[in-house]
Amino acid sequence: MEIKSRDLGRYKLEGALGEGADLEVFAATDTQTGASVVVKRPHPTLLSRGRHRSVERRMADTIAIKERLGLALPHVAPLLAHTAQEPHADYFGDGTDERYTVVVEARAAGVPLVGSAIDGIKRHPIGLPQNLFALHPVKAHPERGAFTIAGEVLAVAEVFHSQGVVLLDLRPQNVYFDPATAAITVIDVGNITLEREATGRHPALDMHDFYLELFKWYVPSGPPPQEARAYAEPYGMDSVTRFTSDLDALSRVFAMNFTDDMGSRAMPILEKIRSRLYATVGEFRLDLEEMMRGLSDEYLAYSGTASEQAWQEAARLMTAPHWSQFLFSPEDMAPYSEF
């Protein structure tokens, strides 16, 4: 739904939630419904320099896909409203006269799998959710089970691929997880691009690039930690994905950490990604699901071990005040244990 800048007054700003290289994000309340929402705009630094055009193009592409798909787009924060490119100085109170788009979305429940870099500098355990729920779910959700996140992230990318684009850079910072329901919400799908064949100047780009990123951030490449503090650091957060070198690194890590069935399941998948052999998303999904089922079975053996004790100690860190800035409370951890 496109609205005018003057209509943004319906959404009462309540403070900044975070910022990235492209966007600034605010918490807000819909004064007509009482619902929690988020308000997004291009980052003020880009606006002040008139360098927000590429962000505007990505926002426009994302808005078009979201409006076209509607409720058929799973696990993604619903788009509630967006403006045309207008000045919004009155709404934000910052005197910026640039014309730009503002987007309003439903606010995601739960916590980001990886927190902001600023929170990391402040020594908050920003990698805790990624390790607890995506990479090393030693304690499974009693209804949903373990290792569900990778499949749901894949489902999001598959729908975008059906629209003729590849979704990249779907980092854990952009994926919220609600421990109460074990469901994810993707809050940013702005990095979409067209597939291309390899040329003399550029390598190929297709869904295999996404599969690599999925492995980097949502598939464990080693056994669960034996100490709670090891859960605090995020995994795979290098700034740029490099297809060949990242695959080489993942292959080395899997070969070093797994000599059992886990390694024999992972290595063929990585080699298919390297050779770009998956003809459809469905083919990759079958391999991923088989691998995740094997992982779930293997993780049952950690019950009552030092690995489970470390997981429980790490999970208790979710009661810290830091996590209260999100739509989350310690009671949401109840499906996993008593806190």
How far apart CA 176 and CA 114 sit, in angstroms, is 9
Residue 3: closest CA among 92, 104, 78:
104
- pLDDT for 245 equals 92
Whole-model pTM: value is: 0.92
pLDDT average per 10 residues of sequence, the chain (339 residues): 93 88 91 96 89 90 89 91 94 89 96 90 93 96 94 96 91 95 91 87 91 95 92 85 90 78 80 96 96 91 92 95 93 82
How far apart CA 202 and CA 309 sit, in angstroms, is 48
How far apart CA 248 and CA 78 sit, in angstroms, is 37
How far apart CA 256 and CA 164 sit, in angstroms, is 37
- pLDDT for 80 equals 96
How far apart CA 79 and CA 274 sit, in angstroms, is 35
Which residues are bridge partners to 103 per DSSP?
A: 40, 82
- pLDDT for 200 equals 78
C-alpha triplet 18, 150, 243: angle, nearest 5°: 85
Residue with tokens 């464990």: 220
- pLDDT for 261 equals 65
Structural domains of the chain, with CATH = 2-106 (3.30.200.20), 111-331 (1.10.510)
- pLDDT for 259 equals 60
